[in-house]
Structure 1
Amino acid sequence: MQAEEWYALHGKMPRLYVPAPFTIGEVVVLPEGPARHVTRVLRMGEGAPLVLFDGQGQEAGVHLAEVGRKHTTATVDAVWPGASESPFAVHLGQAISKGDRMDYAIQKAVELGVAAITPLYTERGDVRLKGDREAKKLAHWQAVAASACEQSGRAVVPVVHPPVGLAEWLSDRQEPLRLMLHLATGNTFDQPERPASAALLIGPEGGLTEADIGAAQAAGFTPLTLGPRVLRTETAPVVALTLLQHYFGDL
């Protein structure tokens, strides 16, 4: 049974991220978070259908086999490959911002098909994370990405890499198309040929410094403007990714 048949048979249903192998007829133990969501929020009972995805590209149609406070399982009825990934891979380098602005940027980037995200420390960035605080924030951001996949229909959860300094991220870039948003340039988007992948650099709320810009240009990045209006740091990736997916992806 394929995805279309499953949804035609059962209608719209929840999608949950469960990083486990799927084999038809096997039983999957739901992790605490998905189990709590199914039993306490959705109040689904035994036999209820839902869709799981493993974060690596596979989806499974399942039905709840056992529902309990401490133990919830599902039996796999069908397995199919996910079909919602963009053919154009974009690695987003996003300057870290405060509060839920970073969550918003990650959420919308995932909805728009981003392949990977690296939070960046830049000169004007006012967020610095260390030790346990960085580890907790990284786990939170990865959970935001997984939740966005549940909502948007993606079966591959993009990796949110540990935060690094801008120079380190730039030194690792191999993508043939490398763009950074910079309002002060008059360069508009003009890329006639379709590249295999791209790197996109978004600066902090105060913008990239001249040193940041120089380092990015030395690493092969082209400054790009998205028009005369100043976009917030969490809005800029939404607009830029939409543009890239329109020209080279599946929008």
Structure 2
Amino acid sequence: MIIISFVGFSNERKLIQKLLIHVKNTRITPMRLHRIYYPFTASLGDSVLIENERAHYIRNVLRLKAGRKLRLFNQQQHEYLAEITTINKKNIELKLLEAIQTIAPSKLDITLIQGLSKGERMDYTVQKATELGVNKITPIISDYCEVKLADKRLQKKLNHWQNIALSACEQSFRADIPIITAPVSLDDYCQSSRCGILLEPEESRNIHAISKHQWRQFHIVVGPEGGWSAVDLHKLKATGLKGIHFGQRILRTETVAPAILAAVHSLWGDFI
């Protein structure tokens, strides 16, 4: 047996130690499959041409190249393993290689009526409500609402919220896309009878008081940053909504929606 000793060869020994450390720290990890939404009608084996903002996102943000694979899903809740075949400055072409089973939508049909709040607070609400399975989000304008949206700014905000919802669907592996409607006034909302939950800190009942209802289609109504006025509460309760408090602590408006959604899923939905 031949024994090679590096005694006296300090430079060679240091070089080998560095090489060993480099090999140890270099790990080959599998490439992550990005999940992308795009409205298309193609079927397995077909090609899909992606244009505009989605093409920009794949090419310039994700920096994917020809030959890379990703998960592509559409508005019909169809999802495929797809491979990028052509990529240029105008569009990206993908081939649909394999159908992928999507996650079933929530068995609860929930509409979130959210008091219109400022900037990132509303963004956070849209993101988390989407991750937690709401079917529709409608901002509501009440007495203490601090946000005013003119027509041009309103359309820009709606597009912004829809993009946040799409990103949340991509991240959470949700296949159905929630509807985000234009804000409504509280008076218009209260024109019809409603079934659901009204969050009100001063209410004596808690969520256990409504657990017997076993609703499958209902509204959750959350106030804005300034809370509800007495007039707001009177009008909302007249629609048939069930008022409840949600613990002893006063939560921020952007915290309420994800918290109550998690609670109702624990009662009737995906968490049981």
TM over 0.5: yes
Structure 1 residue ranges, 4+ long, deviating more than 6 angstroms after superposition: none
- 1:225–1:134 CA distance, 2 compared to 1 (3 A): same
TM-score scaled to structure 1, two decimals? 0.90
Q: Establish whether residue 125 from structure 1 lines up as the match of residue 149 from structure 2.
A: no
Q: Which residue of 2 aligns with 1:233?
A: 253
Q: Say if 1:173 and 1:199, in contact at 8 Å, map to a contact too.
A: no
1: CA distance between counterparts of 2:186 and 2:39? 31
Deviations 1:210-238 (CA, angstroms, capped at 9, x unpaired): 11111111101111111111100100001
Q: Secondary structure at the match of 1:219?
A: coil
Q: Secondary structure at the match of 1:151?
A: helix
Larger of the two Rg values belongs to structure: 2
Q: Say if 2:146 and 2:226, in contact at 8 Å, map to a contact too.
A: no
- 1:18–1:172 CA distance, 2 compared to 1 (3 A): farther
Cα distance, 1:20 vs structure 2: 1.3
Cα distance, 1:65 vs structure 2: 1.2
TM-score scaled to structure 2, two decimals? 0.84
Q: Say if 2:165 and 2:178, in contact at 8 Å, map to a contact too.
A: yes
Deviations 1:56-78 (CA, angstroms, capped at 9, x unpaired): 32212211110112221111122
1: CA distance between counterparts of 2:36 and 2:47? 15
2: CA distance between counterparts of 1:12 and 1:220? 48
Cα distance, 1:132 vs structure 2: 1.0
Q: Which residue of 2 aligns with 1:222?
A: 242
Q: Establish whether residue 83 from structure 1 lines up as the match of residue 103 from structure 2.
A: yes
Match of 2:62 among 22, 42, 56: 42
Q: Which residue of 2 aligns with 1:22?
A: 42
Q: Say if 1:142 and 1:160, in contact at 8 Å, map to a contact too.
A: yes
Q: Which residue of 2 aligns with 1:151?
A: 171
Q: Which runs of 5+ in 2 are unaligned?
A: 1-29
2: CA distance between counterparts of 1:239 and 1:21? 36
1: CA distance between counterparts of 2:74 and 2:256? 30
Of residues 88-97 and 60-69 in structure 1, the stretch that sits farther from structure 2 once superposed is 60-69
Taking only aligned residues, the RMSD between alpha carbons, in angstroms, comes to 1.6
Structure 2 residue identity aligned to 1:212: D
- 1:82–1:166 CA distance, 2 compared to 1 (3 A): farther
Q: Establish whether residue 180 from structure 1 lines up as the match of residue 198 from structure 2.
A: yes
Match of 2:190 among 148, 164, 170: 170
Deviations 1:38-58 (CA, angstroms, capped at 9, x unpaired): 222222221211111113322
Percent identity between the aligned chains?
Answer: 32
- 1:214–1:56 CA distance, 2 compared to 1 (3 A): farther
Cα distance, 1:12 vs structure 2: 4.3
Deviations 1:3-41 (CA, angstroms, capped at 9, x unpaired): xxxxxxx87411111011131121111132222222222
Q: How many residues were matched structurally?
A: 240
Q: Establish whether residue 248 from structure 1 lines up as the match of residue 268 from structure 2.
A: yes
